[in-house]
Amino acid sequence: MAGGGEALGGGGKQKRGKASKRKGKKRVGFRLDMTPLVDITFLLLTFFMLTTSMITPQTMEMNVPPDLEAPVEVRESELLTVRVRQDGAIFYNMGTDAPEAVNLKELHKVIVDQNVNLKNRCIVSLKAEPTVPYGIFITVIDEIHQCEPDIINGLKANGVNERQRKFTVAPMEAKDREEIAGL
Amino acid sequence: MSKIKKKRVGFVLDMTPLVDITFLLLTFFMFTAKFKSESDSEQKYQVKRPKATVDTTKLPEQDLVIIKVGIDTVNRDTAYHISMLNEQDRIKLSQVMIQKEFPGVQPNQNAFVTKDTVWLESIVQEARFINPRAQFAVDADRRIQFVWIERAMNAMRKKRATTFNFVTDKKQ
């Protein structure tokens, strides 16, 4: 640190004796030693810089239907089921079709295409095996969320301006498990 | 001519701009710093959040019920850690849970740890009574099994907390 303003501060060195002596003297080049101040400031600055974490958690909103006794009836031809197997493999099928293995990019395309073709009537249902790591589940949901802009654009191109989103998470049943077991 | 080498005494550098900038940065970091709350320092598990791209909504700082599902660093065990963010709510929830005889409950408890979905449901219900505006957030480790989330979702659904948030980190 280039400390020590004292050398220049001629005025500061004057002994403060009687008031009469000080009178009339011009205070030239008044200096204050800022070294301790700067030291402490730097110390605090480094402390705060190192302790602050810039990454704040984000949230992903989910809506689940309330637990009503009467299940909602849907047309099977409008139901797009996405299933996630234990090893992270993703399968999709429309209605009662046979499930087909896809990766995330293909899934994106499938969801966009089906939603645009069916013009808002498509229902995406996500089923995940209970042993699937939660991280994979979020990745799939994230991908489904990311389809929205493309779907809206596709719908607009077909003259539909409103988007009604139909997405749900459903439990994996034994029947689902059987269908994707050997694929 | 011999120039007498002058000893450089009292070399002075103008530190004013330096100090200005330093103070500016200091104030900035001081204001943005967020310190760990008591409940955070108590927890013995780490949550590696899943990464997601789309949603950029930040986690609210009050009126929030957090259900944390983490893997214990020592015994690799998983459990629900439910806590309310508002101080007042937390005290009320502790009182209610004492009445309900939650195992090991103490006055002014920060987080309720349970593996039982019945307790989870009951805590969700009480939290909704105490603060009807409270939002729910599920903060889970990305390595845990999905069944934990499914159970938590079902518990919230049963107690009519149909809108909730998954806490994620931003994908880089």
Percent of chain A clearing pLDDT 90 (strictly above) = 1
B38-64 pLDDT per residue, tens: 656 666 677 778 887 766 677 777 788
Q: Give pLDDT, residue A5.
A: 44
Q: Determine the residue among B12, B16, B20, B55 to mutate to test chain A binding: the one whose Cβ has the most chain A Cβ atoms within 10 Å.
A: B12
Q: Is the pLDDT of residue B75 over 80?
A: no
Q: Which of B148, B149, B165 sits opposite A60 (nearest CB)?
A: B165
Query: How many alpha carbons fall within 13 Å on the CB side of residue B58?
Result: 6
A41-89 pLDDT per residue, tens: 889 989 888 887 766 777 787 777 776 665 667 777 788 888 888 888 8
Q: Is the pLDDT of residue A12 over 60?
A: no
Quick one: pLDDT band at residue A8, thresholds 50, 70, 90?
Answer: very low
> In chain B, what residues touch A49 (CB-CB under 8 Å)?
25, 29
Quick one: pLDDT band at residue B137, thresholds 50, 70, 90?
Answer: confident
Q: Is the pLDDT of residue B36 over 80?
A: no
Q: Are B48 and A133 in contact (CB under 8 A)?
A: no
Q: What average pLDDT is seen over chain A?
A: 77
Contact between A64 and B156 using a beta-carbon 8 Å cutoff: yes
Q: Is the pLDDT of residue B1 over 70?
A: no
Give Rg (Cα) of chain B.
25
> In chain B, what residues touch A169 (CB-CB under 8 Å)?
153
Contact between B26 and A41 using a beta-carbon 8 Å cutoff: yes
- Helix, strand or coil for residue B14? coil
CA distances from A152 to A63, A143, B55 (A): 20, 15, 17
Q: Give pLDDT, residue B40.
A: 62
Query: How many alpha carbons fall within 13 Å on the CB side of residue B134?
Result: 28
Quick one: pLDDT band at residue B6, thresholds 50, 70, 90?
Answer: low
Q: Mean pLDDT over residues A152-166, rounded?
A: 82
Contact between A42 and B22 using a beta-carbon 8 Å cutoff: yes
Q: Are B68 and B47 in contact (CB under 8 A)?
A: yes
B160: closest chain A residue by CA: A66
Contact between B29 and A61 using a beta-carbon 8 Å cutoff: no
What is the Cα–Cα distance from A36 to B70, expressed in whole angstroms? 45
SS3 sequence of chain A: CCCCCCCCCCHHHCCCCCHHHHCCCCCCCCCCCCHHHHHHHHHHHHHHHHHCCCCCCEEEEEECCCCCCCCCCCCHHHEEEEEECCCCCEEEEECCCCCEEECHHHHHHHHHHHHHHHCCCCEEEEEECCCCEHHHHHHHHHHHHHHHHHHHHHHHHCCCCCCCCCEEEEECCHHHHHHHHCC
Query: How many CB pairs lie under 8 A apart between chains A and B?
Result: 163
Rounded to 10°, the helix A35-51/B16-32 angle is 30
Q: Give pLDDT, residue A1.
A: 44
CA distance B95 to chain A (A): 28
User: Which of A2-11, A129-138, B1-10, B29-38 is predicted most confidently?
Assistant: A129-138
B33: closest chain A residue by CA: A52
Q: Are B95 and B107 in contact (CB under 8 A)?
A: yes
**ipTM for the assembly:** 0.73
Contact between B26 and A45 using a beta-carbon 8 Å cutoff: yes
Q: Determine the residue among A1, A42, A55, A58 to mutate to test chain B binding: the one whose Cβ has the most chain B Cβ atoms within 10 Å.
A: A58
B27: closest chain A residue by CA: A45
